Amino acid sequence: MSDVLSECNRLRKAGQTGEALQLLRLALRPAGGTAELHERAGRLLLKHQGTPKAPRVRILGQCTTSWMVPTLTAVAWARATPLNVTDGEFDSVIQELAQGSEAEVLVLLPWTQRLFAGQDRSEGERIEGELAFWQAAWASRGNARLVMVGYDLAAPGPEGVMLGAAGRMRLVRRMNEALRAALPAGAAFVDLEAVSAAVGRERFYDARRWYWTKQPFSEEGALRLCRHLFAAVRALLTGPRKVLVLDLDNTLWGGVVGELGAYGVQLGESPDGEAFRAFQAYCKGLASRGIVLAVASKNNDADAREVFERNPDMVLRLSDIAAFSANWEPKSGNIVRMAESLRLGLDSFVFFDDNPAEREQVRQALPEVEVVDVPDDPAEYVAALEATLLFETLPLTAEDAERGAQYQAEAKREEAREAFGSLDAYLVSLGMVADLRPVDGADMQRVVQLLGKTNQFNLTTRRHSEAVVREFLADARSILLSLRLADRFGDHGLVAVVLAVPAPNGALRVDTLLMSCRVIGRTVEHFLWANVVQRARGLGYTSVEAEFLPTAKNAQVASLFDSFGLARKSEGPEGVRYEADLASLPPPQHFLGPR
Do 428 and 355 share a domain, yes or no?
A: no
| Number of domains comprising the chain | 3
How far is the C-alpha of 264 from the C-alpha of 313, rounded, in Å?
11
Q: What is the CATH number of the domain that holds 228?
A: 3.40.50.1110
- Average pLDDT of the residues in 255-278: 91
Do 444 and 588 share a domain, yes or no?
A: yes
| Predicted local distance difference test score (pLDDT) of residue 72 | 95
| Predicted local distance difference test score (pLDDT) of residue 163 | 67
Q: What is the CATH number of the domain that holds 348?
A: 3.40.50.1000
416 pLDDT above the threshold of 70? no
| Predicted local distance difference test score (pLDDT) of residue 5 | 80
Asked whether residue 145 is assigned to any structural domain, the reply reads yes
Q: How do residues 34-69 score in pLDDT, each as one tens digit?
A: 888 888 888 888 877 555 578 899 999 999 999 999
Do 351 and 312 share a domain, yes or no?
A: yes
Do 37 and 166 share a domain, yes or no?
A: yes
Q: How do residues 65-112 score in pLDDT, each as one tens digit?
A: 999 999 999 999 888 888 999 999 999 999 999 888 789 899 999 999
> What residue type is assigned to position 359 of the chain?
R
Asked whether residue 458 is assigned to any structural domain, the reply reads yes
Q: Print burial letters for 444-483: b (CB count within 10 Å at least 16), e (below 16).
A: bbbbbbbbbbbbbbbbbbebbbbbbbeebbeeeebbbbbb
Do 40 and 139 share a domain, yes or no?
A: yes
Domain that holds residue 333: 243-387
Do 233 and 302 share a domain, yes or no?
A: no
Asked whether residue 497 is assigned to any structural domain, the reply reads yes
Q: What is the CATH number of the domain that holds 587?
A: 3.40.630.30
595 pLDDT above the threshold of 80? no
Q: Beta strand pairing status for 575-581 and 567-572?
A: antiparallel
Do 112 and 164 share a domain, yes or no?
A: yes
Asked whether residue 295 is assigned to any structural domain, the reply reads yes
Asked whether residue 407 is assigned to any structural domain, the reply reads no
| Predicted local distance difference test score (pLDDT) of residue 490 | 79
- Average pLDDT of the residues in 278-286: 96
3-state class of 498 per DSSP?
strand
Do 230 and 112 share a domain, yes or no?
A: yes
How far is the C-alpha of 536 from the C-alpha of 584, rounded, in Å?
13
Residue at which a domain ends, from 237, 257, 275: 237
Do 247 and 110 share a domain, yes or no?
A: no
Alpha helices in 238-370 (DSSP H): 257-260, 271-288, 301-310, 331-342, 356-365
Asked whether residue 411 is assigned to any structural domain, the reply reads no
Residue at which a domain ends, from 209, 237, 265: 237
SS (H, E, C) 402-456: CHHHHHHHHHHHHHHHCCCCCHHHHHHHHCCEEEEEECCCCCHHHHHHHHHHCCC
Q: How do residues 455-472 score in pLDDT, each as one tens digit?
A: 888 999 898 888 889 999
Instruction: Give residues with Cβ within 8 angstroms of 331, minimum separation 6.
Output: 245, 247, 296, 298, 325, 351, 353, 358, 361, 362
Query: What is the residue-averaged pLDDT of the chain?
Result: 88
Give the length of the chain.
595
How far is the C-alpha of 433 from the C-alpha of 591, rounded, in Å?
9
DSSP per-residue letters across 219-247: HHHHHHHHHHHHHHHHHHHT-S--EEEE-
331 pLDDT above the threshold of 70? yes
- Average pLDDT of the residues in 220-248: 93
Do 228 and 141 share a domain, yes or no?
A: yes
User: In Å, what is the CA distance from 113 to each residue of 110, 149, 292, 397, 492?
Assistant: 9, 15, 44, 37, 49
Q: How do residues 286-297 score in pLDDT, each as one tens digit?
A: 998 889 999 999
> Which phi and psi (to 5°) does residue 285 adopt?
-65, -40
Q: 565: alpha, beta or left, given left = phi > 0 and alpha = psi -120 to 50?
A: left
Asked whether residue 404 is assigned to any structural domain, the reply reads no
Q: What's the whole-model pTM score?
A: 0.78
Do 191 and 302 share a domain, yes or no?
A: no
Tell me the pLDDT band of 215, cut-offs 50, 70 and 90: very high
SS (H, E, C) 78-97: HCCCCCEEEECCCCCHHHHH
Residue at which a domain ends, from 387, 405, 431: 387
Do 180 and 55 share a domain, yes or no?
A: yes
Which stretch of DSSP H or E encloses residue 399? Answer: helix 398-401
Q: Are 128 and 168 in contact (CB under 8 A)?
A: no
Asked whether residue 400 is assigned to any structural domain, the reply reads no
